[in-house]
Amino acid sequence: MTTLADDLEAFGLTPNETKIYLALLKLGPTTSGKIIKETKIRVSAVYYALNNLQEKGLVTHVIKANRKQFQAAEPGQLLAFAEEKRRLAEDLIPRLEPLVKSAKEPVSAVVHEGYKGYKGVYDRLFRTLKKGDEYFVFGARQIGDPVNEELNIMLTSFHRLREKRGIKAKIIFNEDVRKNVLEKTPEFKLMETRFMATPTNSYVLTYADRVITFLFTERLLAVEIVSKEVADSYREFFKLMWKSAER
């Protein structure tokens, strides 16, 4: 189980910022001298971290009796800090993506691991596709994942957001999940489904210049290929399978 310090560092604070922020929550309004004594961090590092924490909105200061006193902002300020990081990321993404496309040796394949890896794949799909666009899935086992509850919630939320944004889907499921799919399909709009009798141990999602193979292993794995030629080839194959698949 992670500690508060571990989680704050994962959130984006440095080890020194974390120690000082936690110390201020414990001490309340206090001077830099008491912070140094509590954290045992050298003077210059304390002032550097305090300055950074103030820039992040996580620490404030007041002057009392001609002395500067520091105080931790309410923990809820972490949400404002996170939102600022999100806004910065949203601004950076469209500026960084052209650099990837123009690189001399672009990455042609990427392996995504775990729940965050899966979520990243679907987040990119939403950033790429617009209203009226369509993606294709071959070999799907079912709409959600009955074993992995976190993944099940994510996939259900994904379909809700997909229909809200007007993105269409054509999905060929394995025949053995027909009952589950037919029960859930009416819940979702802009989705066409068909079935194939041949079971698969993976499923393939393709859109734009992406082909992603999701593997059913002990770990969640998704192999993403970035190639318009390969993606076009998969879509032609999908069209053939779609014609022969059962409704």
Q: What is the pLDDT of residues 101-130, one digit of tens each?
A: 655 545 578 999 888 888 899 999 999 999
* CATH 3.30.870.10 domain span(s) along the chain: 107-244
Please compute the mean of the pLDDT values over residues 3-11 and round it to a whole number: 89
For the beta carbon of residue 69, count every other beta carbon within 10 angstroms. Answer: 16
User: Can you give the pLDDT at residue 142?
Assistant: 58
Fold of 107-244: Endonuclease; Chain A (3.30.870)
What's this model's pTM, rounded to 2 decimal places?
0.58
How far apart, in whole angstroms, are the C-alpha atoms of residue 142 and residue 171? 10
Fold of 4-78: Arc Repressor Mutant, subunit A (1.10.10)
Using DSSP, state whether 58 is helix, strand or coil. coil
For the beta carbon of residue 45, count every other beta carbon within 10 angstroms. Answer: 16
* CATH 1.10.10.10 domain span(s) along the chain: 4-78
